Structure 1
Amino acid sequence: MSDSEQPEQDCERLAPTTAPESSAEQTPAPASVPAQGAKKEPRSPRPDVSYTPVSNGMDYLVSVFQHLTEGATPPSARNLKYTVLHLQAATEVLLKARLVQEHFSLIFANPTEAKHASLEKGNFQSCGTLDAFDRLANIARVEFDKDDRKRIKELGDHRNALQHYGLTHNAYAIESRAVKVLDLLITFIHRHLIPGLAPAEAQGVEATMDSFRLQLKGVETLVKERMNNLRGDLDKAAAVTVKCPDCEQWALVADGRDAGPTCLFCHQTWGDDRRSAAANYAWIVLGLEDIPSFAHGDEVPVTDCPECGQCALVTLAVTADRKADTTPLCFACGETFNDLIDCEGGCGSVLNIAPDEDAIHLCSHCLSVRYDRF
């Protein structure tokens, strides 16, 4: 065999294993070269990215709890950002997972165009989160609480703002809202999603749920502790305290203070436009229509206050001291009223006149309109 034909492993014997004595440093021996034709050990293949819809939604929830509980207390702005993004994703995925249990066509934007082949390829336009919610309620007859849809919509609005435009919002309000949506999802998963899963998947989801319940109690405790710290101030103002449209805590005090209506929990204030506080409360918290039909005798959600004249009186407000009843409350001056009657002119205004009092039941505007005609 010629020198050029010797196997490569013989080259190892040709390389010096030590440096010459005159060298100050030793030179490491080169690595051995595998013989030609030797079989290489196969590399372990990288695992595929594989999530079922349910495991995908549950993974988003794992991330939500990590960002809420595993870090600074209270959570940082960055953690709250990812809480919103991943909580909305979990909500959308898990609602649709339950919708598929009813029928796969229901997650298509247009169910009449649904094809099983498109579903398997993931090549289709799915319905929106609120569409999924409505289909679950109206077709699958899933029972939700009356405020669940509103909370999911607000979460989606926050997510869209963060994802596409940026968002500046109160951290306490975001945390408080997140707790309510998490509570919604945990109840939904337990009651409506797990019963329709295969036994193996259901067992895995239930095991994860045990962890979620414990972590949710921890997050809820932070909110409760803050509310407990405010209890003294809130009890003193219970007659003019309502649920805040931003954080949904019973902490919005409308007592006519110079700063305007203020939520003691999330620090939201409406000093510049107290009418907006009244409108937000009536339309977001109470869910009243913003354009009532006066002709059909509908209740006016926000009207002029007979005390201060500002359009900031919510006639159907529910205060912390009278949750079982309604109390007309002005968000501008902080006055509450016991005897209000509708203006007989049909303008939607109210008058602070006892029903049996001998007086003209017309506001100043309707009074002038009526008598200017003569």
Structure 2
Amino acid sequence: MSGNEEERLEGNTEQTPETAPVPAQNAKKTERPSKRPDVSYTPVSNGMDYLVSVFQNLTEGATPPSARNLKYTVLHLQAATEVLLKARLAHEHFSLIFADPTQATRAAWRKGDFKSCQTLDAFDRLRNIACLEIDDDDRKRIKDLGDHRNALQHYGLTHNAYAIESRAVAVLDFLITFIHKHLIPGLEAAEAHGVERTMDSFRLQLKGIEKLVRDRMNSLRSELAKVADVTVECTDCEQWALVVKAEGTECLFCHQTWDEAGGTTAAANYAWIVLGLDAHHAGIADGGAPPVVDCPECGACALVTEAVTASERPSATPLCFACGNTFSDLVDCEGGCGAVLSIAPDEEAMHMCTDCVSARYAKF
């Protein structure tokens, strides 16, 4: 065999591949990471967590809070209010959380498989059954907050940012008092300690939020002082900054406005929202005049007979939301029509409107 042939054969020699190592049969399998922790919140910790979000949205974002911050302020503040009221109600008895307590069972309660009561129902049961000292003003603020939340969640909402901040402060102030006075005393020691520690932070943050409202009101003080005799509590932001004038009614704090043609609506809203009086039926049902009547000066149905102005509070001052006039001497028409007349005590005049005079003496 030639040398070239030997070289060719050696080059074609089959090479055996190296065998891959086989894992030992007794080697341990790689352990998977542990599963994610369960989502676990007690009712109280759930409510407090919503409040943490509220304060974050009001204090940790843009200054002043952005529209998005205020949206989540409304949503989470309403959720916190509902959860914490029901948490306290459950301490009274679990059945009170049910929409219909007569259908309550412990099995349904443990599963969470039941229809619960509404937020205002919880408020009323806490007051009427648990006998907690919580008042109508707080109930009204919670109702307004719930209305804003529902509108925002289901229909969309356009509302003044200053008014939302002002209302949020009022509800937060209620909740902090409620938690301290009515909720913490019924908690177990460990949970109570955790809630109280969080509350310390809330109190400090609330002071800062309240300061924003106070600073804005202080900046308006000199302007409001000039119109105190026609300034009332605003139906939207609850600040004493709603100025009633013939050319239109405007809140200097939140800028809610009614033009000169909207005096009747402004009067009805004020009577209902601030005074809690149905502008058309409340007085009549009691056998007296309704809280909003025709103004003896301009004739518009915009005179709120029980209005409370900044200069005269807490006394009532009849104020017309159409022409901006106040009245010190009003008498009821003796013709029984329900109209009111502006007649000074020493003025010798018939206490009867022109319509009733015409009707009574037409035959003569």
User: Amino acid of the residue matched to residue 40 of structure 1?
Assistant: T
Moved more, 325-334 or 345-354: 345-354
Residues 16-51 of structure 1 show CA distances to partners (whole Å, capped at 9, x for unaligned) of xxxxxxxxxxxxxxxxxx978532224122110000
Q: Choose the corresponding residue for 2:238, options 225, 248, 257.
A: 248
Could you say if the C-alpha distance between residues 178 and 296 of structure 1 is closer, same or farther in structure 2, counting changes exceeding 3 Å? closer
Provide structure 1 residue ranges, at least 5 long, that are not aligned to the other structure.
10-33
**SS of aligned partner of 1:277:** helix
Please report how far the alpha carbon of residue 288 of structure 1 lies from its aligned counterpart in structure 2 after TM superposition.
Answer: 1.3
Residues 122-148 of structure 1 show CA distances to partners (whole Å, capped at 9, x for unaligned) of 100000001001111111111113311
What's the TM-score, normalizing by structure 1?
Answer: 0.89
Could you say if the C-alpha distance between residues 39 and 373 of structure 1 is closer, same or farther in structure 2, counting changes exceeding 3 Å? farther
Q: Which residue of 1 aligns with 2:89?
A: 99
Question: Separation in 1 of the partners of 2:179 and 2:363?
Answer: 65
Q: Which residue of 1 aligns with 2:250?
A: 262
User: Amino acid of the residue matched to residue 263 of structure 1?
Assistant: C
Q: Which residue of 2 aligns with 1:314?
A: 304
CA RMSD of aligned residues (A): 1.9
Provide runs of 4+ in structure 1 moved above 4 Å.
Answer: 2-6, 34-37
Could you say if the C-alpha distance between residues 157 and 295 of structure 1 is closer, same or farther in structure 2, counting changes exceeding 3 Å? closer
Contact 1:282/1:288 (<8 A) preserved: yes
Please report how far the alpha carbon of residue 4 of structure 1 lies from its aligned counterpart in structure 2 after TM superposition.
Answer: 9.6
Contact 1:278/1:313 (<8 A) preserved: yes
Could you say if the C-alpha distance between residues 306 and 176 of structure 1 is closer, same or farther in structure 2, counting changes exceeding 3 Å? same
Please report how far the alpha carbon of residue 299 of structure 1 lies from its aligned counterpart in structure 2 after TM superposition.
Answer: 4.5
What's the TM-score, normalizing by structure 2?
Answer: 0.91
Question: Separation in 1 of the partners of 2:288 and 2:89?
Answer: 36
User: Amino acid of the residue matched to residue 234 of structure 1?
Assistant: L
Q: Choose the corresponding residue for 2:273, options 284, 287, 300.
A: 284
Q: Which residue of 2 aligns with 1:63?
A: 53
Residues 63-85 of structure 1 show CA distances to partners (whole Å, capped at 9, x for unaligned) of 00000001111100010000000
**SS of aligned partner of 2:302:** strand
Q: Choose the corresponding residue for 2:214, options 224, 227, 234.
A: 224
Q: Which residue of 1 aligns with 2:226?
A: 236
Q: Choose the corresponding residue for 2:184, options 180, 194, 207.
A: 194
Question: Separation in 2 of the partners of 1:234 and 1:277?
Answer: 19
Question: Separation in 2 of the partners of 1:113 and 1:4?
Answer: 76
Question: Separation in 2 of the partners of 1:6 and 1:292?
Answer: 94
Could you say if the C-alpha distance between residues 122 and 364 of structure 1 is closer, same or farther in structure 2, counting changes exceeding 3 Å? same
**SS of aligned partner of 1:250:** coil
Moved more, 34-43 or 304-313: 34-43
Please report how far the alpha carbon of residue 289 of structure 1 lies from its aligned counterpart in structure 2 after TM superposition.
Answer: 2.7
> How many positions carry a matched residue from both structures?
347
Aligned positions of 1:102-117 closer than 5 A: 102-117=92-107
User: Amino acid of the residue matched to residue 176 of structure 1?
Assistant: S
Residues 294-348 of structure 1 show CA distances to partners (whole Å, capped at 9, x for unaligned) of 3743342111111111111111111111112111111111111111011122232
Q: Choose the corresponding residue for 1:155, options 145, 160, 170.
A: 145
Please report how far the alpha carbon of residue 172 of structure 1 lies from its aligned counterpart in structure 2 after TM superposition.
Answer: 0.6
Question: Separation in 1 of the partners of 2:18 and 2:265?
Answer: 91
**SS of aligned partner of 1:120:** helix
Moved more, 359-368 or 212-221: 359-368
User: Amino acid of the residue matched to residue 229 of structure 1?
Assistant: S
**SS of aligned partner of 1:312:** strand
Contact 1:176/1:248 (<8 A) preserved: yes
Contact 2:283/2:291 (<8 A) preserved: no
Q: Does 1:143 align with 2:157?
A: no
Looking at CA atoms only, which structure, 1 or 2, has the larger radius of gyration? 2
Q: Does 1:7 align with 2:21?
A: yes
Q: Choose the corresponding residue for 2:262, options 273, 276, 299.
A: 273
Could you say if the C-alpha distance between residues 368 and 175 of structure 1 is closer, same or farther in structure 2, counting changes exceeding 3 Å? same
Contact 1:7/1:35 (<8 A) preserved: no
Question: Separation in 1 of the partners of 2:135 and 2:113?
Answer: 33
Question: Separation in 1 of the partners of 2:48 and 2:335?
Answer: 57
Provide structure 2 residue ranges, at least 5 long, that are not aligned to the other structure.
1-15
Q: Which residue of 2 aligns with 1:294?
A: 284
Contact 2:302/2:322 (<8 A) preserved: yes
Residues 62-109 of structure 1 show CA distances to partners (whole Å, capped at 9, x for unaligned) of 000000001111100010000000000000000000100111100100
